[in-house]
Chain A
Amino acid sequence: MSPEEGIFYVVAGITVIGALGVVLARNVVHSALFLILSLLAVAGVFVLLAAEFLAIVQVLVYGGAVTILVLFAMMLTRVRDMPRALNGPQWPLAAVAAGMIGGISIVAVLDTEWPGETDEATVVSIEEIGNLLFTNWAIPFEIASLVLIVALLGAIILARGEEGE
């Protein structure tokens, strides 16, 4: 086993542990903290895939913004005042369904012969990604910025509350 693979197994293990923590934790705040752990470990996976730009964006956007937003929403909705069971009565069925999807997917992955197994990962420089974003993908890029601004405006209007409230 190469050292690369050893690092991969450690990072993948942290990712899976964090993900299990998110779906199994009894405390909602613990779930959010496990989510941070899992998302940072996914950034590590991106580094192993030689996509360091994505790893940086992952840490900034997910580790920094998304989880903080989730924690804020937890604070505002006072989830801790609700001591009821966090799982619905349908959870055994959900476990069976998710296990089947996961099992089928893993079997399909291991069964397939992947073509073009390269020997080393191609490091894509940030300049190349930038060039590509503003040439081939210029229109989707602009639409993505439009989606972001519409979503954020909508979020502000939804969360602001009624007049005189």
Chain B
Amino acid sequence: MIPIDNFLVLSSILFAIGMYGVLARRSALLILMSVELMLQAVSINFVAFAVYLSPEVFTGLVFAIFVIVIAAAEVGLALAIVLRLYRNRQTANVDEADALKW
């Protein structure tokens, strides 16, 4: 059996990579993809804890399913907003969406 540490380290690495993407990229689409990576890291964590630490009540598994549902809703909505932004400002760059900046 693989030690639980392996899964948790993998999810930490994945989360850090996703965070770098969210902070460094300028295109809204790339930021969205990095957010997906971070959600995946969280899912791996949930499932690992469910399987190893509480094998009789697998709450973590159910939560991972909910994470996938929410991620699907989030992607659909966020892509619609990006399309709207592109139609109004001819850009998908988050730095140029500064109408609310003081």
Q: Is B83's CB under 8 angstroms from A151's CB?
A: no
Q: Is A66's CB under 8 angstroms from B19's CB?
A: no
Q: Is B68's CB under 8 angstroms from A58's CB?
A: yes
Q: Is B69's CB under 8 angstroms from A77's CB?
A: no
**Most-contacted residue by chain B among A5, A72, A73 (CB, 10 A):** A73
Say which residue of B72, B86, B91 sits within 8 Å of A66 (CB atoms). B72
The interface residues of chain B lying within 8 Å CB-to-CB of A32 are: 33
Residues of A within 8 A of B (CB): 2, 4-5, 8, 12, 15-16, 19-20, 22-23, 28, 31-32, 35, 38-39, 42, 45-46, 48-51, 53-54, 57-58, 61-62, 65-66, 69-70, 72-74, 76-77, 79, 82, 84-88, 90-91, 93-95, 97-99, 101-103, 105-106, 109-110, 114-122, 124, 128-129, 132-133, 136-137, 140, 144, 147-148, 151-152, 154-156, 158-159, 161
The interface residues of chain A lying within 8 Å CB-to-CB of B97 are: none
**Most-contacted residue by chain A among B9, B24, B51 (CB, 10 A):** B24
A62→B48 CA distance, assembly (Å): 19
- Residues of B in contact (CB 8 Å), total 72
Given contacts A76-B83, A118-B55, contact A148 B62 (CB under 8 A): no
The interface residues of chain A lying within 8 Å CB-to-CB of B12 are: 102, 105-106, 109
The A/B interface has a contact count, at CB < 8 Å, of 246
Chain B contacts with A in 43-63, Cβ cutoff 8 A: 43-44, 47-48, 50-56, 58, 61-62
A42→B68 CA distance, assembly (Å): 13
A110→B13 CA distance, assembly (Å): 13
Q: Shortest distance in angstroms between B52's beta carbon and chain A's nearest beta carbon? A: 6
CB of B101 closer than 8 Å to a CB of A: no
Would you mind naming 26 contact pairs between A and B with Cβ atoms under 8 Å apart? Answer: A22-B33, A23-B18, A23-B20, A23-B24, A32-B33, A35-B33, A35-B36, A38-B40, A49-B7, A54-B47, A57-B68, A62-B36, A70-B29, A77-B29, A77-B86, A82-B27, A86-B25, A90-B24, A114-B53, A115-B53, A121-B52, A122-B56, A122-B58, A129-B61, A152-B76, A158-B80
Q: Shortest distance in angstroms between B81's beta carbon and chain A's nearest beta carbon? A: 6
Q: Shortest distance in angstroms between B61's beta carbon and chain A's nearest beta carbon? A: 6
